Structure 1
Amino acid sequence: MTQPPATKVLVIGYVWPEPRSSAASGHVMQILDTFLQQGWDITFSSPAGTGEHRADLTSLGIREVPIELNNSSFDTFVSELAPDIVLFDQFMMEEQFGWRVEKHCPDALRVLETSDLQSLRHARYQRLKERLKASDDANDFSELFAPALREEFEFMADTDLAKREIAALYRCDLNLMISEVEIELLVEQFKLPRNLLHWCPLMVDAPSAPSPAFEDRAHFLSIGNFRHAPNWDAVLWMKTMIWPLIRAQLPEAQLHIYGAYTPPKATALHNAAQGFHVMNWAEDALQVMSAARVCLAPLRFGAGIKGKIVDAMLCGTPNVTTPIGAEAMHREQPWPGAVTQTAREFADCAVRLYKDKDLWMSAQSHGQILLAERYQPSIHGPALIEKLLYCQQHLAQLRRDNFTGSMLRHHHHKSTQYMAQWIEAKNRH
């Protein structure tokens, strides 16, 4: 009896994955690994240039095919590949290539990996900037941290970014959401059908080996890709407000800040005399995280869930963060460290965790429980495959039920097609 052909998956990436540089790329790699475990045939394409920390996909058995924006060569490529599933990595890729996929592979399941809700992150950034202009108080940002979903909707609803992003969600057959808070926002406020959204958080196995003990660790650590605006803002808040408060209580304290693509403006903050060390990129993020005693993540805005905090739990490193950092990560479970609203509270909690071994060990155990209960690949991987197969089997009905999506595809794809063809013709002359 002949085996049925393997499911063909085309992933169209906003960038080539760099899992050691960003949580978004790490999540893409976790999804790819889930597909590989099914024996699926995977092709990864991107119009982006190659970054210096990119993953070697070919070594995993994944084909790499560069593609171009506004170029009909993609039409030939996708027609010949004839994928069963097309996964768009970030909504901009659906905007660019969605109409071509629909035209040449109409029966392919179209899936969007959102990474985080970018329009939510952008709206929160605008609110932070307004708050910084209105007040020079760098201590208390609590009014930014826990608005009701209705307030979030009202900040987002008039923005171009929200209209673009949520239209892309409607146009796809399924959207992978990393945050349950974002699912509730989309369903309750933007009125998206819940069956268009699938919760797929970061998927990591709890470590089997014990992590270094309290006594064998030293220093505070902060980590994050500097190209990601929330990370740069967190560094600025630490430098100007939080770190001086920590040093006042722990005069010998040292903070090591790691991040890919460190810009000169970040390097300029390095000050060894203040114990404020900007360390550039970490070759092994888990190794430096395991050596630190406490992870600091003072995020004043952002969306999704935080890879740096999952890494801290993996390494048994308690963390101090804000409600933005903790959002959608723990539900009712105790937090593996502290969630704080002001710079003063942040510094006090960081110092307490650093000095109190019992408190530190309790926080570490909370992280291990949280990993096991919310981030297991053995739970989320099969759930993702089951959902994809269900959508494939019921595709015609799902599309019929999603009339808003088909209407948006009809109008958007026509206009995008004509614009792309005009750009391509212009580029030939």
Structure 2
Amino acid sequence: MSDFAPHLRDTLAPGRSRLLDSSHDIILSELGAVLFASLPRADQRRKGAEYLRGLLGAQGRKSVRNIARLIGGQATEQNLHHFISSSTWDWDPVRAALAHYLRAVAPPQAWVVQQTVIPKAGEHSVGVDRQFISSVGQVLNAQQAVGVWSASADVSMPVNWRLHLSRAWLDDVPRRSQASIPASVTSRTLEDCAVEAVTELTADWRLPTLPVVMDVRELDGAKAVNLLRAAGLPFVLRIASTLLLRPAEGGAGPGASGSEVMPAHRIAGAWSDRRRVVAWHDPDREGGPATALVGAVRVRAAGDPVARGGAAQRLARGGGLLLLGTGTPGRRWPQELWLTDLPDLPPAQLFRLSQLIGRVERDFEEIADRTGVRDYAGRSFNGWHRHVTLASAAHAVAALAHTDGRTLRRVS
């Protein structure tokens, strides 16, 4: 792998070469060495390096054909297609190596879960369905995936994925066979996919347990809370204003019972006098730090029993939740609502964790789409996972280079 970095630099398109500098060479040589260590054959490791090079350098859509055109010829296209769609290499160790590398050079503050919609023209790509996508407010022919991102205020990079498969795919035996969907893949909701993807990081790959930051407004928020609690994963969740919660004793506002279940926006609205100004860094803002209003009140999930006496104390110590309202001075309150099981963290720190969703959204638009994370056009379940794994690595190379080395620091 020693010649991996210069080989990549020499073949990048002119418009992309500005990403490469001395710190980029370090990233390429280090990451190239660890990323493909689990691949058993030298030819697989070589093709992995070529594919990564193509994701970074090919013009336009990062299809196998365009990648092959960059690195050479029809035989290459056939070889790369086989390497991604039909080869036997396991993507899990590659993802684990990527995640550990990123944890060492750019330590994350949280695992951010992002839903990804991948529009498709046809009906044969694995997992594609016509479905209503609430985030865009229309019916699309699309795949839906869940990505887990290693995120800090400076940089974010995807490290693990789940492709959501409907019953229409899982129950159709010929369709399932054509896409080579393993028998172990069973029906899962998007909430299940998200929690399983994070649990794989912490339980199987032995990465640190960090707060899970996730937008569940269009999901089953109560189910997400229960799944994360059961998995022992701390969380900061952006919730719908209508999610039903039970205020902790004395937290419902004047004239309300402490045992009453009510929408989250009503609880937050009743305590607008608890708001405090928080200064934070907004990358999209010029002229210094931005300010936000943040207010918090202790709550319980709607299904939790009303605890009294000693039981209430045990609930506060072991299972208390905090409802966080956020907004901009001079605008309606609250603009956003967040639910967390980290009630002892200062509201300002929780607010800064919540803003990592915006960091991921920006990096997805500016980097991930450019390195081909949504460009796999094949029909193979395994091919989709191999492609998105290497696209995640390409994203990491570009993202770390974009920081000009500011985040690069080795931790044990």
User: How would you bin the TM-score normalised by the shorter chain?
Assistant: under 0.3
Query: Structure 1 or 2: larger strand share?
Result: 2
TM-score by length of 2: 0.23
